[in-house]
Amino acid sequence: MEAASRLGIEVVVGSEHRSALAKLMEDRQLRLDFHDVERSTQRIVAFAKGHPLNAVVAVDDTGTLLAASAAEALGLAHNPVDAVEAARDKARMRQRFQAAGLLTPGFRTVDPDEDPASVAALVHFPCVVKPLDLSGSQGVVKADDADGFPGVLQRVRAIVAACHRDGVRPAVLVEDFIAGDEVAVEALLRGGELDVLAIFDKPDPLNGPFFEETIYVTPSRLTTERQAEIRETTARAARALGLTDGPIHAELRINDRGIWMLELAARSIGGLCSRTLRFGSGISLEELILRHAAGLPMPAHDREQRSAGVMMLPIPTDGRLKVVAGQEGARKVPGVDGLVITIPPGEQLVPLPEGDRYLGFMFARADSPAAVEAALRQAHAELRIVTDG
C-alpha cells in the first residue's frame, strides 16, 4: 500500500478479512474466498466492469492462484494458472523439476490412509516429511530413521489436518534430505526472462529436525561462478514450472554434487523481509513489483551497495507472550537499523513445526555480510522472551 501510494497507483484490496479492509479502504475493497477460486474470479471480473483494472497482484502464497485466474479472465499479463498450481503443489513442482533435468530431492506422496511402517520401507533416510501446500517451514519435519518415521508422519498429518478445517485429509510429501548450504533467491520474471534482484546466504545450518529460518544476508559470499550457477538453476526452474511474469522466491541447496532446486514460489519474499532490499535511489521491492505489474517504466534497480540482512526472530517455546525484553539494547547494537515485534503481548506463541509465524523481524546494514551477520547475532542475544507458560 505504501509503494502504491508513492507511485500514485490506485489500489483495490481483495482479502478474506473484512475488518482489515475496513481500516485500509472505503469503497475500493472486495471480500474474497481464496479457496473458491472460480467464484472469487467472477467477483473480480464483475467488479472490473465498473472499476477497470490493469493488474492483479498477489502478496502471499494464498492469493497467487486467484491472482493468476482473475488476470487470465480479464486478459491481463499473468502467470499461467497451471504454472501457479504447480508452484503451490510441492509434488507437482518436484515432478516438473525432475522432468527438466534439475537436481531435486527424490520424493513420493503419502496418502492419508497409507500405513507408516509400509511407507518407511520404501523411502531413503534421512528424509523430510512436509505438507504439499503450506509455507514458512510449517509442518516440515526431518525423520532420521525408520523407527522415528511413524511419529514424524503422524505429527505432520496432524498439522495438515489442523490447517484444513473443512474435513479434507490431504496427502503429504516425503522427500530425501539434501545436506548442504542453503540460499534464497529473490527475482522478478518479465516476459519469461529472469531478473535476479538478490541472492541471500542463510548462515545458520538447516539440518532439522525442524527447519526454522533465521538469518538472511545479502550480497552472497559465494563465488561469482557459484552465483552464476544459482541464477541459471533458478531460471531453469521457473521455465520448468511455466512461470512467466511477476515476483518469485526460490530456495536452493549447494553441496559437492551441485545446485539442488528445492522450491520456487510465485510470490515475493515473505513477512517483513523485503525491507532488507533497496534498489537504485531507495526503491523498494514492492515498488519494482508494482511497476512491472502496472506496466510503468522500470528504472535502474541495482541493489544498494551496502550489505544487508534480516533475522526472522524464532519462537523458542510455547506460552502466552508477556513481553519481549531487551529491545532497547538490541536496537543500540551498531549496524541494527530496525526491530519489529509482530506478535502482541497476550497472544499465544506456537513454535515450529506447528506454528506458522515468527516473533518478529530484525534488520541490519553494514559494510560487509560478516558484519551484518555479527550485528544480528549480537542484537538477538539482547532479547529475552517472557511468557506465562
What is the identity of the amino acid at 106?
G
Specify the CATH superfamily of domain 106-176: ATP-grasp fold, A domain (3.30.1490.20)
Joined together, the cell numbers standing for residue 51 give 472499476
Sort 388 into a burial class: Cβ within 10 Å, 0-12 / 13-18 / 19+: exposed
Low-confidence ranges of the chain (pLDDT < 70): 18-27, 165, 167, 389
3-state secondary structure of 320: strand
Matching residue, cell 521491492: 285
What is the pLDDT at residue 134?
Answer: 86
What is the pLDDT at residue 27?
Answer: 67
CA distance 109 to 173: 5
For the chain, how far is it from start to end, CA to CA, in angstroms? 37
Joined together, the cell numbers standing for residue 314 give 524464532
What is the pLDDT at residue 389?
Answer: 65
Please name which of 207, 203, 228 lies closest in space to residue 218, comparing C-alpha atoms: 203
- Residue 150 makes CB contacts below 8 A (sequence gap 6+) with 116, 117, 120
Determine the CATH number of domain 180-305: 3.30.470.20
Hey, how many other C-beta atoms are within 10 angstroms of the C-beta on 205? 10
What is the residue extent of each domain of the chain? 2-78, 106-176, 180-305, 307-389
- Where do runs of H (alpha helix) occur along the chain? 2-7, 18-24, 37-50, 61-74, 81-88, 90-99, 116-120, 149-163, 224-241, 285-294, 327-331, 369-382
pTM for the full model?
Answer: 0.94
Q: How far is CA 113 from CA 95, 116, 171, 212, in A?
A: 23, 9, 9, 28
Helix and strand totals (H; E) in the chain: 12, 19
CA distance 207 to 26: 47
Please name which of 57, 29, 83 lies closest in space to residue 292, comparing C-alpha atoms: 57
What is the full DSSP assignment across 329-351?
HHHTSTTEEEEEE-S-TTSEE--
- Residue 372 makes CB contacts below 8 A (sequence gap 6+) with 217, 307, 308, 309, 335, 364, 365, 366
Specify the CATH superfamily of domain 307-389: Aldehyde oxidase/xanthine dehydrogenase, a/b hammerhead (3.90.1170.50)
CA distance 79 to 238: 11
What is the pLDDT at residue 69?
Answer: 97
